[in-house]
């Protein structure tokens, strides 16, 4: 067991090191500059991910140490704010909904989107219908799209969207999450694998983008609108005052 833990630790740390080197070389600069520009112009960062990639959107939107002008789009919005039946969110149907090419336009219309907003979309495979569809909707309506995806995985599989495109082929800016094909890093005797890394690397990328965006705002002489923990004195008051500047534009349901 200890050998597996050591191997997995290496797989994770080596990928985080690669992302760190990429960021230190200026890899995150373009995305951060685009995000800072959108915020400076009154826009909101619209974060979207399905399946385990929803964790990336949660790292971007509505957490302590994160930017306040952030909103999370989720497939469950089709039920909570639309006309889809809740049965479509169960474990089997949920994966069907994730691949539903018709869900994107409906989801876009249900979301709190302003023309000034920028989209940050995460998908390890980058080929499912709802992901590709939402990216296309955003691009067609003039929004900048930033993608976080596994370039190794997405280049090895066929898209499931009728456009024939992948997320990485639609986005204005593409960030490689460094996850391998299939996401897992350790083989299991008899077949299969364990040790998925995309959620870990994506969370790290989300924090790097947040940090760099804040630095862009500071260099421009602007006060970054950052959440502080609601569990420290004054946290609720600070957050409520800043959130009030974006009434009707932010969504973060669980």
**pLDDT for 91:** 53
Q: Give how many domains the chain has, as a whole number.
A: 1
**Residues in contact with 68: Cβ distance below 8 Å, sequence separation at least 6, in sequence order:** 225, 226, 227, 239, 242, 243, 245, 246, 250
Contact 113, 250 (CB under 8 A): no
In a domain, residue 251? The reply is: no
In a domain, residue 200? The reply is: yes
In a domain, residue 196? The reply is: yes
In a domain, residue 254? The reply is: no
The terminus-to-terminus CA distance of the chain in angstroms comes to 35
Q: How far apart are CA 27 and CA 10, in angstroms?
A: 23
Confidence check: pLDDT of 92 > 60:
no
**pLDDT for 84:** 87
Confidence check: pLDDT of 224 > 90:
yes
**pLDDT for 94:** 47
Give kind and range of the element (H or E) at residue 47: strand 45-49
CATH of the domain at 62: 3.40.50.10490
CA–CA–CA angle 20, 45, 99 (5° rounding):
90
Averaged pLDDT, 91-98:
62
Q: How far apart are CA 29 and CA 209, in angstroms?
A: 8
Residue 180 main-chain phi, psi, to 5 deg: -80, 170
For residue 37, the enclosing domain spans 2-246
The pTM score is: 0.94
């Amino acid at each position: 067991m200890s050998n597996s833990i050591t191997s997995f630790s290496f797989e994770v740390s080596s990928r985080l090191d690669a992302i760190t080197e990429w960021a230190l070389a200026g890899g995150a600069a373009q995305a951060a500059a685009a995000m800072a520009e959108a915020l400076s112009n009154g826009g909101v960062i619209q974060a979207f991910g399905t399946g385990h990639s929803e964790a990336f959107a949660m790292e971007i939107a509505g957490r302590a140490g994160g930017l306040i002008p952030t909103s999370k789009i989720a497939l469950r919005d089709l039920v909570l704010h639309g006309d889809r039946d809740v049965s479509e969110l169960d474990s089997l149907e949920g994966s069907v909904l994730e691949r539903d090419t018709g869900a994107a336009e409906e989801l876009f219309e249900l979301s709190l989107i302003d023309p000034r907003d920028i989209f940050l979309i995460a998908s390890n495979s980058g080929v499912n219908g709802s992901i590709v569809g939402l990216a296309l909707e955003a691009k067609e309506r003039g929004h900048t799209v930033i993608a976080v995806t596994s370039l190794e995985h997405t280049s090895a599989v066929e898209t499931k969207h009728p456009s024939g495109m992948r997320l990485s082929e639609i986005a204005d800016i593409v960030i490689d999450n460094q996850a391998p094909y299939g996401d897992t890093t350790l083989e299991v005797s008899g077949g299969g694998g364990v040790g998925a890394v995309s959620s870990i690397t994506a969370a790290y990328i989300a924090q790097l983008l947040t940090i760099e965006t804040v630095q862009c705002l500071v260099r421009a002489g602007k006060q970054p609108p950052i959440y502080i923990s609601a569990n420290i004195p004054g946290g609720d008051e600070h957050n409520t005052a800043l959130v009030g500047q974006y009434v009707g534009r932010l969504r973060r349901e669980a």
